[in-house]
Copies of this chain bind each other. A is one copy, B any other.
């Protein structure tokens, strides 16, 4: 089961609404279960955070957990965690990458936000991620 564009668009729009309500210039990326981009919006953020948003979403979906959970796992490995962070073209393990689940609880993709504080990015990503739960 993989997210389709209609669903990705709904998730993205829910996150855009949240970002606008917080008045934060973020980038938001939605990826499918293969980590490939489905939908993206750069709400006039600086361009440096585009890659952050995409990497957060990819990190979440490629391990099946939110980016900060993978962060906790990897930081537990101490020095050796760098090898993991460098894997897969580069992970990003701060909050703001959230898996998207369908009504049955299956992961269908992930959404990543960057440009705000980690709390804001997490809130923005979750606004999009929870709409099918």
Q: How far is the CB of A65 from chain B (nearest CB, A)?
A: 9
Number of copies: 4
Check B88–A83 contact: CB distance below 8 A. Answer: no
Choose one: B62, B71, B92; the contact of A47 (CB below 8 Å).
Answer: B62
List the B residue with the shortest CB-CB distance to A6: B44
Check A39–B41 contact: CB distance below 8 A. Answer: yes
Within 8 A of B (CB), among A40-86: 40-44, 46-52, 55, 59, 62-64, 70-71, 74-75, 77-86
Residues of A within 8 A of B (CB): 2, 4-5, 8-9, 27, 32-44, 46-52, 55, 59, 62-64, 70-71, 74-75, 77-88, 90-94, 118
